[in-house]
Structure formats: C-alpha cells, structure tokens
C-alpha cells in the first residue's frame, strides 16, 4: 500500500477538433512525454475534449429560442439561445434559479445546464455532452489499448456542482472496462459488522482525483492516468444513476 | 507534471479510542512503515477515528426517543434511538424517506443522518461528527507538524451519499492549513475566455482521492497522505458551505 495511487497528468495534448482520435492523440502525447502506460492503469479524459472530437458543439447564431427557452432565460438570466440548447439536451427541468438551470439529460444525468458549456470552445459556440459517453469511453479505450498492448479502462469525466456544498467536483459521464460503483456489501467494519455505506462511487472519486492534476481543462491537462486503483469489472455508467431519486421526486420536474 | 499526485495510505493504524492523539499515532505508524512526510504533503484523516478520539460516541441504551424521533423512525424504519441522536445533532430535517433522514447539522452540513454512524464503533453505539472539525484538523496538524518538523495541512474526511447519483464520495468536514475551495476566477480557458466553473471543491476532491486508498475505514486505512496537491492558504470548512442553498430552500426544512 506504500505505492498507493498515482495520478499523472498528460502534458502537451493539443487542441482537439472534430474527427480527432482522442485515444490515439493521448497515446502519442504520453510517448512524447516519456510516460508509459502500465497494466492496471485507468485513463481519465475530460468531457470537453471528447465532445469536441465528436462534434458535439452548437453555433449559437443558428439557434432560435422557443417561448419556453425565453421564459427560462428570464428566470436564469442566461442567453436564451443557450437555454434553448439546454432544453434540447434535457428531458426535464428540475429547478431553475438565477444563473442556473438544473436539468435531467437524455442520459439520465441530473446536472446544471444539462452539461452545456461555453468554456473551452470558440466564441459563439457551446459544447454539449457526448450522446453516448460509455461508447465514447469504449472508443478511446480501444485506441489506447492498441497503443499499450493491453486493455486500458477509460472514464470520461466532467466537473459539476452539487446541492448543499460549494464548488465543483469530478464526476464520471461514461466508462469502459471499469465498474463505476464499488459494492462494499459483505465487507466487515473494524468491529466485524456490516458497513453502513455499501456503495462507493468509484468512478466519480477517480474523476475527482484526476481533477487534482487536470484542473479545469483550460489549464491544458484534459487527460490523466490513474495508477493503482483496482478497477473491478464493469458495465456502463448506468450503475451510478438511481432508478428513482427521492430528490428529483421532491423537487418535481417540468417536462416541457 | 509527470510526478503528478500521489495518495499513500498509512498502514497499521490501531483502533483509536478516546483520548488518543491521532496525529501522534499516525506519525508513529508512518515511521514504522518507512513512510516519510515531505513538505507540501497533506494528511487526510477519516472522521470515524477523529470522532472516536474525541469521545463523540453515544451508547444507544442511554437514549430516550422523543415523540418526534418516534415519528421519523416510523417514516425511515430506523431505530428510534438512532433517530433521537440524529435529531440532537441537527438544526433541521430537510427530507425523510425510507432508510434515511437528510439533515442540516449544527456545523451547517447537509448530510444523511447528520453524520451519525453505526459502522466502525462497538455494537450498541453510534459515532457523531466532531463538534468542531476545523479544530480537530488543527490539533492533528499540530501533532503531525511536530513529528515532521514542518507544517502539515490536515483534512478531516467523511464518505457521504449525494442527491442524483448513487454511491458515496469523499467530502471534507474540517481543514487546517489548506483552503477548501480553489477559485479559478481569472483563469483563462483554451480560448482565452473566463472559465464557466470558477470554484473547485479542492478539499472534497482530495477526500475522494484519499478514499481510493482508504476505502471505508473498516478496511483499516483511516489515514492517507496526499502528495503533490498545491494546497493554497486557507481558512475553515465554511468556504465549502453555501450561505443560501437553493435546494435547501426548495425542499424546505422541519426545524422541530
């Protein structure tokens, strides 16, 4: 356990544009930086570069806000065109307040502005979340695996705010080759009793750890290796989502 | 950046009991394991051992549940004596559902069961959160600093669930010598524009990273070093709490 966990930021990732093979680019930058992947490594990739590589961008001057978008723009103070893009990405609005719109996305994520972001993209444009983040992670994993010669699990990460606490933390949007949730069912505590907390959001915690070197991608480190984390074997990101969420229920939803 | 961030779990921490100097014990275990603290290291300590060292435990057979506790016990299905302890730790109940009670604690944290935990404590007992987690962190920091010969920032961590996503993640309850929130105000994105996300919950992300080696403390690693994280200079945990939280407002609160 003295080796512990290491998070290694990959320097020199160039500005990613549509059609780029993010895994291939990341592997090349690792090589250039003298960083070798090891078996067991996970790779975390920021959503912003994944979205850009997949062309998940919208030119705001092509957007025509609906009445519903104009109404939410009034509540939030946001650009009505951005609100229109947000609503298009959402299956419902959970809460609206000054500066933000809490939405449920088509993937089932509940997050501010449905993940629509005007950072790290050209003026007059926004990025949207990748339509199938597990699929994105799988494609990047394949490219990295080809370069490494062994399987490389991948997490597509985002930074999100959350209720009740200030500041953003890392969360996983998509995974490949890793179980996003670790079950502690059956793990005894110090006193031999069953632990009260039985599900750990492993992938989210890895994204928060990766953020410690990635910072916001504006700082230029959109890819990091997480070394020494036992990944488990896993299915998709759905493991991190509730089928029924008491808060969503309590807050209600405007499904437009 | 190739060195990145390292999280090093401290093996061999014995069962902590009331009156133990957690910092002193941790320093001793580091020495025994051949782990040397370096300047710039942060140390993360799990709440459960901090609470135990401070005697923040309650024998359930001394607890007499009130009518309000019995009513919430009916809703949640929890032991009415545990609910009584939870209510005693809380300034309000934000939400109650089967199996859980979302409370605001006297510190201002909004968390399940006000942090009252029956894991990692003797049968028939529960732990409560330390009354002044920043003070706890400061005391541990002083002991570690004495052993190391330089200042050692400390975070008292907990694992908590959150709305909208399954599984627990690390959160900070108290800090000493580190700013819990990192501001990105003025940091340009790839395109030279101001980042949309301007506050990062640094201390929470460090706790999630530490959880990757600590696991749940039942696995025996309640202390970890985080190496390579620029700590900034900081005040207390209050930086992570909203003065007004839209969700708290939207959900209402039963202040008993």
pLDDT in tens, A51-61: 999 999 999 99
User: Average pLDDT, stretch A232-247?
Assistant: 77
How much is the pLDDT for A217?
46
How many inter-chain contacts (A to B, CB under 8 Å) are there?
275
* Domain range list for chain A: 1-55+130-245, 57-128
pLDDT in tens, B55-86: 999 999 999 999 999 999 999 999 999 999 99
Taking a C-beta distance cutoff of 8 angstroms, is the pair B103, B116 a contact? no
Alpha helices in chain B (DSSP H): 22-32, 47-53, 67-76, 80-89, 133-148, 202-214, 246-251
Query: Which of A112, A165, A191 is the best residue to mutate to test the B interface, defined by the most B CB atoms within 10 Å of its own CB?
Result: A165
How much is the pLDDT for B254?
85
Contact list, B219 vs chain A (CB under 8 Å): 187
Nearest CA distance, B204 vs chain A (angstrom): 7
Nearest residue to A218 via CA among A125, A131, A118: A118
Q: What share of chain A has pLDDT > 90, as a percent?
A: 70
Return the structure tokens found at A116: 């629509």
The Cα-based distances of A108 to A89, A101, A132, A234 in angstroms read: 11, 15, 11, 19
CATH topology classification for A57-128: CofE-like fold (3.90.1660)
Find the range with the poorest average confidence among A172-176, B9-13, B176-180, B247-251: B247-251
pLDDT at residue A218 above 60?
A: no
How much is the pLDDT for A1?
42
If one looks up domain B58-125 in CATH, what number appears?
3.90.1660.10
- A38 at B interface, C-beta within 8 A: no
The 3-state DSSP class for residue B156 equals strand
Taking a C-beta distance cutoff of 8 angstroms, is the pair B84, B64 a contact? yes
pLDDT at residue A210 above 70?
A: yes
Architecture of domain A1-55+130-245: 2-Layer Sandwich (3.30)
How much is the pLDDT for A251?
80
How much is the pLDDT for A235?
73
Q: What CA–CA distance (Å, rounded) separates A75 from A46?
A: 30
H or E segment to which residue B157 belongs:
strand B154-162
Return the structure tokens found at A104: 């449920």
Nearest CA distance, A102 vs chain B (angstrom): 10
Confidence at A193, pLDDT banded by 50, 70, 90 = low
Rounded (10°) angle between helices B202-214 and A202-214: 130
Q: Which is the CATH superfamily of the domain at B6-54+131-248?
A: CofE-like (3.30.1330.100)
pLDDT in tens, A133-173: 999 999 999 999 999 999 999 999 999 999 899 999 999 99
Nearest residue to A74 via CA among A61, A65, A62: A65
pLDDT in tens, B208-218: 999 999 875 44
How much is the pLDDT for A253?
83
Give bridge partners of residue A1 from the DSSP assignment.
none
How much is the pLDDT for B188?
64
Q: Which residue in B159, B216, B248 is closest to A187 by CB distance?
A: B216
Query: Which residues between 105 and 124 in chain B have a beta carbon less than 8 angstroms from any beta carbon of chain A?
Result: 109-111, 117-123
How much is the pLDDT for A186?
66
User: Average pLDDT, stretch A95-119?
Assistant: 91
How much is the pLDDT for A120?
75
pLDDT at residue B39 above 80?
A: yes
């Amino acid at each position: 356990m003295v080796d512990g966990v290491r998070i290694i930021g990959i320097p020199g990732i160039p500005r990613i544009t549509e059609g780029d093979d993010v895994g291939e680019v990341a592997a090349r930058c690792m090589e250039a930086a003298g960083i070798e992947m090891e078996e067991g490594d996970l790779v975390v990739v920021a959503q912003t570069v994944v979205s850009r590589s997949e062309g998940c961008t919208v030119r705001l001057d092509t957007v025509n806000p609906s009445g519903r978008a104009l109404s939410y723009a009034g509540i939030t103070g946001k650009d009505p065109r951005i609100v229109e893009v947000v609503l298009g990405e959402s299956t419902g609005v959970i809460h609206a307040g000054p500066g933000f719109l809490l939405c449920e996305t088509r993937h089932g994520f509940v997050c501010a502005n449905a993940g629509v972001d005007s950072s790290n993209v050209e003026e007059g444009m926004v990025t949207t979340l990748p339509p199938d983040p597990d699929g994105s992670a799988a494609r990047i994993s394949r490219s990295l695996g080809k370069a490494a010669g062994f399987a490389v699990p991948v997490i597509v990460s985002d930074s999100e705010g959350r209720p009740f606490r200030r500041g953003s933390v890392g969360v996983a949007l998509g995974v490949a080759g890793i179980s996003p949730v670790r079950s502690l069912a059956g793990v005894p505590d110090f006193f031999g009793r069953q632990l009260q907390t039985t599900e750990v959001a492993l992938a989210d915690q890895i994204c928060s750890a990766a953020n410690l070197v990635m910072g916001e991608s504006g700082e230029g480190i959109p890819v990091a290796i997480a070394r020494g984390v036992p990944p488990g074997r896993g299915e998709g990101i759905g493991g991190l989502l509730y089928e029924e969420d008491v808060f969503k229920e309590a807050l209600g939803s405007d499904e437009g």
